[in-house]
Structure 1
Amino acid sequence: MDKTLTLRTVNVTRYILPLREGGSLPALADADDGFKYVLKFRGAGQREKALIAELLGGEIARALGLKVPELVFANLDPAFGRSEGDEEIQDLLKGSQGLNLALHFLSGAINYDPVAMSTDPLLASQIVWLDLFITNVDRTFRNTNMLLWNRELWLIDHGASFLFQHAWVNWKKNATGPFPIIKNHVLLPVASELEAVNKEFKSILTPEIIKTIVQTIPEEWLLAGGDSDDANEVRQVYNDFLNSRLSYSDQFIKEANDARTALI
């Protein structure tokens, strides 16, 4: 990875439709570069913290060689959405003016079906390791957050990662604490290569790479949560969390293997 990581910035030109029911209401949208994107709004649900989790989770996955749609910053003009007829969507658009996050839309992709589709144990182990590392609670049988596109598995929706964000004072405990929710991971039953993956991924995620990824978080997102009035201080917490979590990887792999043994 280069020492600097920059995401492209696009301007949203058209709101097409909401993609699913729920509080976050991600949307399919056009941008001024001619591509369609899945737009994640700063005014929805967990607000900017969900966007930070989406950004960090996606870019960490990419650094590890996993398939993730391109992430871009997406500008929403104050005038955008004034003609929107749905009052809830109009409020969402008004509350999301400025910088949002979007994922390149994978046209024709289908949802991963754990019953009908098989997954290579090494790839399954890589994805489970990622979700252990970023404390992602949302890759279950109920909601796999994976797509099959061009015969490859792509990862989406990391906004439910980094649980410590919602109890900021406990970040150190979360970094080196158990993650029992991993027992619900859709790929855990076939993730038989966790120890090998752990060794490989620990060598990839150097402190420099972690710092580079954390550096991409926009300052305004860091300040929006109200955890500190110093963006650098907040950024440092994310950096320290990830490095601490990495130092704990041998333990979280053991937890996952124990949970897997119980399942099979």
Structure 2
Amino acid sequence: MPKITDENYLIKTVHATEWFDVLATGTTEPMLVLALEAESGDRDSYVVKPFGHPRIYPQAVMKECLGAWIALELGLHTFEPVFIEVSSAFTDTLLGNPYYQRFADSIGLNFGSKYVPGTIPVVGHNCLSRIQVSQAEQVTSFDLFISNPDRREEKPNLLTVQSDLYVFDHELAFDFMLMLSFNRNPRPWELGEMELAMLRKHFLYPKLRGTQIQIRDFIERFERLDVNFWTKASNLLPTTWLSHDLITIKNHLALIIENRAIFARQLTQAILA
């Protein structure tokens, strides 16, 4: 799948034309819609998170985009992020629909992703046996890197497509943003109590606990988040979604990238313990 650092990358904008359903999973009640790509004329199915939901707001969708773009940059599987235009004409087709107001409050650009049929949800620890160790190592490292506490036993936010493991739902990532600056870990490459608690609650932790993980090569990929990556991210995000939080996130991750060898060693030791 294309990465935002690819020379000709542009995030796709599609126009919602038909509502299908609300997806059974997800506290933000993502919706399945048919949407049209104006340039190609192609219609396809997409998952949209309308702004009309109280948990969907500019910082949350910025984090959704960043989470997906970082995952793709690091070589993980995720669903193609897109911008979904909700128009008043589309909303008018939903009169009488219980979600009419949700979309009426979402006129304009919304965050979404390309729908992939045939996905299998990862639910319960019985599913751990079908996840490859290398996949578990990389996803766990990714979540600790982006400070994502939202891959827990009760809500793994993982799907499988054949043998591939897909990550999604990153609106709660970068959770250090919820803390006052003086309460944040000033050395985020070192795992403090908050990071260790996040690790122990991670859905994939039981699969890895007590093992010698091999993450050095994956951690080296963190360097891909260079000036080009952050410039492209800033340019691609709609201005109404942008804030100084992007710089805060960039600077926080830069500290981990600069000290990634220590981060890798501490994560390896924490899982082995």
TM-score (norm 1): 0.82
Letter in 1 for 2:174: F
User: Taking structure 1 as reference, are residues 174 and 72 closer, same or farther at Cα in structure 2, changes over 3 Å only?
Assistant: farther
State the Cα deviation string for residues 34-66 of structure 1 (Å, max 9, x = none). Answer: 110111122321412221111100110001111
Maintained 8 Å contact 1:129/1:194: no
- What's the counterpart of residue 212 of structure 1? 232
| In 2, Cα distance between equivalents of 1:150 and 1:2 | 26
- What's the counterpart of residue 39 of structure 1? 48
User: Taking structure 1 as reference, are residues 119 and 21 closer, same or farther at Cα in structure 2, changes over 3 Å only?
Assistant: closer
Deviation at 1:153, TM superposition (A): 1.4
- What's the counterpart of residue 239 of structure 1? 250
State the Cα deviation string for residues 161-196 of structure 1 (Å, max 9, x = none). Answer: 1113434x5299257443221211122234443542
| In 1, Cα distance between equivalents of 2:49 and 2:187 | 29
Maintained 8 Å contact 1:8/1:72: yes
Maintained 8 Å contact 1:38/1:103: yes
Deviation at 1:7, TM superposition (A): 0.4
- What's the counterpart of residue 12 of structure 1? 16
| In 2, Cα distance between equivalents of 1:133 and 1:91 | 37
Over aligned residue pairs, what C-alpha RMSD do you find?
Answer: 2.7
Report whether the alignment pairs 1:99 with 2:103: no
State the Cα deviation string for residues 203-242 of structure 1 (Å, max 9, x = none). Answer: 43334334433442221112xxxxxxxx5x4443332233
Aligned length: 251
| In 1, Cα distance between equivalents of 2:228 and 2:140 | 23
| In 2, Cα distance between equivalents of 1:240 and 1:112 | 33
User: Taking structure 1 as reference, are residues 175 and 20 closer, same or farther at Cα in structure 2, changes over 3 Å only?
Assistant: farther
After the TM superposition, which of the residue ranges 22-31 and 129-138 deviates more from structure 2?
22-31
Deviation at 1:202, TM superposition (A): 3.0
| In 2, Cα distance between equivalents of 1:133 and 1:211 | 20
User: Given the alignment, which residue of 21, 45, 64 partners 1:54?
Assistant: 64
- What's the counterpart of residue 205 of structure 2? 188
User: Given the alignment, which residue of 127, 131, 135 partners 1:123?
Assistant: 135
- What's the counterpart of residue 155 of structure 2? 143
| In 1, Cα distance between equivalents of 2:89 and 2:178 | 32
- What's the counterpart of residue 24 of structure 1? 28
User: Given the alignment, which residue of 163, 170, 173 partners 1:161?
Assistant: 173
What 5-or-longer segments of structure 2 have no aligned partner? Answer: 37-41
| In 1, Cα distance between equivalents of 2:217 and 2:122 | 22
- What's the counterpart of residue 39 of structure 2? none
Letter in 2 for 1:239: K
Letter in 2 for 1:131: D
| In 2, Cα distance between equivalents of 1:21 and 1:132 | 23
Maintained 8 Å contact 2:220/2:260: no
State the Cα deviation string for residues 130-166 of structure 1 (Å, max 9, x = none). Answer: 1111111111222111111133211111122111343
Maintained 8 Å contact 2:74/2:222: no
Deviation at 1:11, TM superposition (A): 0.5
- What's the counterpart of residue 225 of structure 1? none
Deviation at 1:72, TM superposition (A): 0.6
User: Taking structure 1 as reference, are residues 94 and 165 closer, same or farther at Cα in structure 2, changes over 3 Å only?
Assistant: farther
Deviation at 1:25, TM superposition (A): 1.7
State the Cα deviation string for residues 117-136 of structure 1 (Å, max 9, x = none). Answer: 43222221111111111111
TM-score (norm 2): 0.80
What 5-or-longer segments of structure 1 have no aligned partner? Answer: 223-230
| In 2, Cα distance between equivalents of 1:6 and 1:17 | 28
